[in-house]
């Protein structure tokens, strides 16, 4: 983590929000507040409401839900019951890491054990954040017909209308697996209509968690990111301690975060053991984010190109800053740094 201090550009006047919103677990305990243990963050446009709604349903009352709105449409989300409990922050035409730098300071989110920072276009049919602890009890209650409490009727309605809840209650949930394998930085494995951008994120069928890519042909070096010690910026999950380091990597003026995932490993040690991809709980990447519609008012092709050009410009800037940070760090520590490369990694 010492190296990160050479890179950090600290935000002045970080805007805070209230965490630890309380609401009842169920009607039987309205006087007993629940303090969420985890934070789930989505950067969203209203066009993707169905994806986001499905994802939020997979996060229990142990999660605070935070939406960053980049299209300015906030009130429309009131159609969802959970939106009343969520935290909403709106700023037009910004990207995920722009919000994270300004609103997710480590001291602000210190109450949460894990922080999920996800894109909006992810399918969650095969993902559960936590065990659905009420499932068998509610099924029995339904057949006995012994409950007429509104909250329980509504909760059971969700079980009936989810295409995954009933048959996945016996699957070990994501957080349990993260704790089991000691992962400080993780992500669900990915399936898509195309090959994932990074082979390490592709789901494996024969394991709960993996930490290395298989294909040497795709990876130039199996001992370097993105072939090991790597998760993508699309759907990362950070422990509290890892996020305290990651936050300092985020650059105020580089909102897309390109390149950061290559250096996440500098925030945990040993990275090979504490960074991993969870295969047993996986997501589907639809690849339909609407951020590219927030560009200039011209044809869509130009908007897509404009955003992509900006992202790769940011990647070049981030590479330069990181390598300058490596130079400064190595000089101070007396480390020979003549063999550092543009892959953003510290020489081993």
Say what the pTM is.
0.75
Q: Which two tokens stand for residue 85?
A: 């409990």
Q: Are 52 and 86 in contact (CB under 8 A)?
A: no
Tens of pLDDT, residues 309-333? 888 899 999 999 998 888 888 888 8
User: Rounded to whole angstroms, how far apart are CA atoms 104 and 50?
Assistant: 25
Q: Are 150 and 110 in contact (CB under 8 A)?
A: no
Close Cβ partners of 239 (under 8 Å, ≥ 6 residues apart): 113, 114, 183, 184, 185
Close Cβ partners of 50 (under 8 Å, ≥ 6 residues apart): none
Q: Which two tokens stand for residue 177?
A: 């697996």
Residue 229's nearest CA partner among 266, 188, 190 is 266
Q: Which two tokens stand for residue 192?
A: 């898509």
Residue 6: what pLDDT? 55
User: Rounded to whole angstroms, how far apart are CA atoms 210 and 206?
Assistant: 10
Q: At what angle do helices 150-161 and 135-144 cross, to 10 degrees?
A: 110
CA distances to 10, 57, 123 from 128, in Å: 35, 9, 11
Residue 289: what pLDDT? 60
Blockwise average pLDDT, block size 10, the chain, 348 residues: 53 32 34 78 93 90 94 95 95 93 97 92 72 40 37 32 30 83 95 77 90 72 86 94 96 91 94 94 77 52 74 91 88 71 45
The count of other CB atoms within 10 Å of the CB of residue 1 is 14
Q: Which two tokens stand for residue 4?
A: 């990160």
7-131+172-291 adopts what CATH topology?
A: Spore Coat Polysaccharide Biosynthesis Protein SpsA; Chain A (3.90.550)
- Show the beta-strand stretches assigned E in 52-105: 63-69, 87-90
User: Rounded to whole angstroms, how far apart are CA atoms 188 and 200?
Assistant: 11
Tens of pLDDT, residues 261-295? 999 999 999 999 999 999 998 888 877 766 655 54
Burial zone of 108 (CB within 10 Å; 0-12 exposed, 13-18 middle, 19+ buried): middle
Q: Are 64 and 39 in contact (CB under 8 A)?
A: yes
* H helices present in the chain, as ranges: 4-7, 49-56, 96-103, 135-144, 150-161, 165-168, 174-180, 240-249, 260-263, 271-274, 300-333
How are beta strands 237-239 and 185-192 bridged, if at all? antiparallel
Q: Are 155 and 138 in contact (CB under 8 A)?
A: yes
Per the prediction, the chain carries an average pLDDT of 75
């Amino acid at each position: 983590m010492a190296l990160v201090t050479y890179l950090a550009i600290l935000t002045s006047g970080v805007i805070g929000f209230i965490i630890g919103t309380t609401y009842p677990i169920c009607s039987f305990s309205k006087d007993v507040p629940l303090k969420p243990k985890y934070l789930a963050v989505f950067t969203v446009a209203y066009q993707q409401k169905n994806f986001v709604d499905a994802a939020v349903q997979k996060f229990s009352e142990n999660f605070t839900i935070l939406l960053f709105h980049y299209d300015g449409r906030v009130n429309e989300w009131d159609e969802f019951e959970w939106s009343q409990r969520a935290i909403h922050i709106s700023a037009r035409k910004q990207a995920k890491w722009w919000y994270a730098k300004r609103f997710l300071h480590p001291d602000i989110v210190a109450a949460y054990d894990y922080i999920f920072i996800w894109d909006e276009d992810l399918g969650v049919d095969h993902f559960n954040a936590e065990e659905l602890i009420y499932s068998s009890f509610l099924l029995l209650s339904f057949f006995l017909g012994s409950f007429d409490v509104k909250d329980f009727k509504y909760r059971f309605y969700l079980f009936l209308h989810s295409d995954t809840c009933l048959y996945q209650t016996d699957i070990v949930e994501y957080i349990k697996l993260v704790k089991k394998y000691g992962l400080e930085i993780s992500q669900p494995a990915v399936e898509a209509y195309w090959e994932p951008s990074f082979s390490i994120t592709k789901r494996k069928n024969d394991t709960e968690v993996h930490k290395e890519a298989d294909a040497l042909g795709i990876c130039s070096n199996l001992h370097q990111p993105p072939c090991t010690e790597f998760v993508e910026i699309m759907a990362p999950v950070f422990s509290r301690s890892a996020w305290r380091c990651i936050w300092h990597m985020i650059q105020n003026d580089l909102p897309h975060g390109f390149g950061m995932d290559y250096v996440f490993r500098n925030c945990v040690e040993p990275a090979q053991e504490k960074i991993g991809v969870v295969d047993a709980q996986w997501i589907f990447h639809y690849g339909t984010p609407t951020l590219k519609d927030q560009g200039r008012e011209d044809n869509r092709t130009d908007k897509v190109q404009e955003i992509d050009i900006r992202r790769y410009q940011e990647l070049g800037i981030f590479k330069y800053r990181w390598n300058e940070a490596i130079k400064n760090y190595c000089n101070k520590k007396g480390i020979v740094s003549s063999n550092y490369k543009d892959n953003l990694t510290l020489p081993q």
